[in-house]
Amino acid sequence: MRVSWVTEDKHIQSVVEYGKAAGNYTASATGDHTSYRYFLYTSGKIHHVKIGPLDPATVYYYRCSMAGDEFSLRTPPAALPIELAVAGDLGQTEWTASTLSHVGRSDYDMLLVPGDLSYADAQQPLWDSFGRFVQRYASRRPWMVTEGNHEVEAAMALPCWPRPFTAYTTRWRMPYEESGSASSLYYSFDTAGGAVHVIMLGSYADFNSSSEQYRWLARDLAAVDRGATPWVVVLLHAPWYNTNAAHEGEGEAMRKAMERLLYEARVDLVFAGHVHAYERFTRVYNNEANPCGPVHITIGDGGNREGLAFDFRKNHKLARLSVMREASFGHGRLSVVNATAARWTWHRNDDADSTVRDEIWLESLAANGACRPRPGSNGAGAADSPNDEL
């Protein structure tokens, strides 16, 4: 696990003490630190420390910089089942607080965020306030994130202008090097003892067939053994399938470039943000229902300051593939039960309790004999039934 925090004091050490009992730290780890400038703004000292090896499904108590408050975290399990919460386009509004409160009311193992975290939009102190805003939750469970358009924070390619994604990549260090990626904007990781492979793609990094991201994705997918890893999940920011007027078509170029890779690898689900609403599609490939394609879900309804995207197009060409759509703030949960079955639920904030507004049971495509690629078929030859429910 990597622990990250920011201090105003530039002389504080990048050390985390930890143990399995409150106040009893039996181990410690030293990491590194960095900072950045953004015009007149200078960040605090940003610490990143890896702790471990850690036991799975275990609560650890820890303290940063050998002083101050004690926190606790729980490591993910080493095998299925696992509960993955998903929420995109967070921001730091009352709706965001409601979303995170709903997430925290029920147990989960990890939070996945498909982009747009702080909505700082170059106002760097908002990155600091966002860290304080989410600390209660992010200090207890791993948060795995990818970037959105609000993380770019660079409008002009001038020598004096900060590099794109400076604040995001400096503060939210993800395991890109560990997954063989050359960029912090896309990476992958395994969880539940390798039963679930999660790929974080970069909607705002080059993605055409000659790009490094494309080549990395092809290598990453080819290395997955679906016998040992029955579930593959992808997150990105700009949705490839969308019937909302908001951001219509913005993910189309990336879909055309990369969709075949995901289809041939039998990726199970694709989560996106960007559109501030909820939408779930049937299994789909190349704009047609396909029982061996991924389920695409837009979940950019975490609570951003820009409001909801209400304009779903009734006569949109993809409306026949859209199973559920609603403009409400909320979050989702992917409960991977075993090697063949997973339950997806969406919970909206409008309900006082975490009420399930959408639900589907999914069968892993690795377990579906009709979807196993035949030699020389390039992933073709799937069954015709669009039913992906158990």
Higher-confidence residue of 168 and 349: namely 168
16 bridge partner residues? 29, 64
Summarize pLDDT for 83-112 with one digit per residue, the tens: 999 999 999 999 999 999 999 999 999 999
| Interior/surface letters 110-136, b for 16+ CB within 10 angstroms, e for the rest | bbbbbbbbbbbebebebbbebbebbee
* Residue 154 vs residue 126, higher pLDDT: 126
CA dihedral defined by 284, 257, 276, 359, rounded to 10 degrees? 20
Question: What are the start-end ranges of the H helices in the chain?
Answer: 94-105, 125-138, 166-171, 212-222, 252-264
> What is the secondary structure of 266-281 as a DSSP string?
T--EEEE-SSSSEEEE
Residues 87/299, Cβ–Cβ less than 8 Å: yes
DSSP string for 326-364: E---EEEEEEE-SSSEEEEEEEETTSSS--EEEEEEEE-
What per-residue confidence (pLDDT) applies to 352? 72
- With beta carbons less than 8 A apart as the criterion, state whether 88 and 299 touch: yes
Q: What is the pLDDT of residues 262-321, one digit of tens each?
A: 999 999 999 999 999 999 999 999 999 999 999 999 999 999 999 999 999 999 999 999
Round to whole Å and give the CA distance between 344 and 83: 10
Q: How confident is residue 380, by pLDDT bands cut at 50, 70 and 90?
A: very low
Of 27-31, 160-164, 223-227, 376-380, which range is least confident? 376-380
Separation of alpha carbons 306 and 302, rounded Å: 11
- Segment 226-233 shows an average pLDDT of 98
pLDDT at 375 over 70: no
Region of poorest pLDDT, from 9-23, 37-51, 150-164, 244-258: 150-164
C-alpha angle with apex 198: 193 to 199, nearest 5 degrees?
145
Beta bridge partners of 188: 199
Catalogue the active-site residues: 247
pTM: 0.94
Query: What is the structure's pLDDT at 30?
Result: 98
Reported as half-sphere exposure (CB side, CA atoms, 13 A), residue 267 has a value of 26
pLDDT value, residue 63:
98
pLDDT, one tens digit per residue, over 149-207 is: 999 997 656 667 889 999 999 999 999 999 999 999 999 999 999 999 999 999 999 99
Q: Is pLDDT above 50 for 344? A: yes
Contact 364, 339 (CB under 8 A): yes
Q: Are 275 and 309 in contact (CB under 8 A)?
A: yes
Q: Write down the pLDDT at residue 333.
A: 98
